[in-house]
A and B are shown apart, each in its own frame.
Chain A
């Protein structure tokens, strides 16, 4: 069966510090991968998605970036965090094709101080 992992589970970082969040998927190959953010009291905002290694699409301009160095690994990064980057970050995967549901990881709670 497929599983999706995210780490760390929680993170407290000062403003201006770098960020690296990791997501890995097991039990499937060539998944589509997604990064979402939930700010406090708000819905889900799609940040990035990837259909393959090295293929990243950004949904919104921001100081975050994403990379996919391996088929089942998706990394969210920042060189300098802002207070507004605080939130709950969720990674998700789906199979290729239409209509496929997305499966979400457990999330990373990021607090920028």
Chain B
């Protein structure tokens, strides 16, 4: 069964510093992996996704993530944090079922704080 672990429920960085949010997954089949961002009182917005092909995935707002099969990881990074990056971030793995539908298994989320 698929599962997702996000290491660190809270991460705090200085503006301009590197952002690193960690995600490890468990999957018995090749995974489809996603990162979402949620700003206060808003829905989730897709940052990026990995399905197949290139293991370094670029997303919106300068974020990227690297799929490492050997480490079962899909960490999210951004070279330079901006105040507007403060939000909650969710990593997810897709689980497929017969009948043509899928479910996303979400991690518990990481709240990113950016301070001046």
Among B32, B42, B99, B109, contact of A43 (Cβ-Cβ < 8 Å): B109
Residue B44 at the chain A interface, CB threshold 8 Å:
yes
**Would A107 and B100 count as touching, CB distance under 8 A?**
no
Known contacts A98-B94, A99-B94; decide if A90 and B103 are in contact (CB<8 Å). no
Q: How many residues of B contact A (CB 8 A)?
A: 24
**Could you tell me the distance between the alpha carbons of A103 and B44 in the complex, rounded to whole angstroms?**
8
Considering only residues 95-109 of chain B, those with a C-beta below 8 Å from chain A are: 96, 99-104, 106-109
Which residues in window 3-59 of A have CB below 8 A to B?
A: 32, 34, 42-44, 46, 49, 51
Interface residues as binary, A86-113 with B (CB distance below 8 Å gives 1, 0 otherwise)? 0010101010111111111111010000
CB-CB under 8 A from A103, the residues of chain B are 46
| Residues on B with beta carbons closer than 8 Å to the beta carbon of A88 | 41
